[in-house]
Amino acid sequence: MKKSSSQPKLQPWAVLRFARMQNAAADGVDLRFADMRHADLRGANFAGANLSGANLFGARLNGADLSNADLRHANLQEANLESAAMEGALTEGAFCDEFTQLPSGIDAQSAKAAVVRSEWKLE
């Protein structure tokens, strides 16, 4: 008989609305198309995670590690990404708006254009 893990297995299409996952170790996790609206993900490690198509509307990602994460076609409207690590993150087709708070070092005007076209470039 297999022992069950005490941690839930996160899967694509997961519904994590309003989840509290501060400082979670979720590097490399597959959360394609997950509904993570208004989730508290401050300080979480999503390095290399697949968040493509995820709905991160209003999510708090301050201080999160999103390096090398796949955020293509993710909804980043009203998300707080201040001080998030975004190096190497794929953001082609991701959507942000005037309320999206971007990490320092990313120019808001060029980031909006880059979010729609390709990936963010840190200056």
User: What is the pLDDT at residue 77?
Assistant: 92
Q: Averaged over 30-43, what is the pLDDT?
A: 97
Name the pLDDT band for 110 (thresholds 50, 70, 90).
low
Which domains does the chain show, CATH number per domain?
17-123 (2.160.20.80)
Backbone angles phi, psi at 108, to 5 degrees: -60, -45
- Asked whether the predicted pLDDT for residue 117 surpasses 60, the reply is no
80: helix, strand or coil: strand
Return the bridge partners of 30, or none: 50
Q: Averaged over 4-25, what is the pLDDT?
A: 77
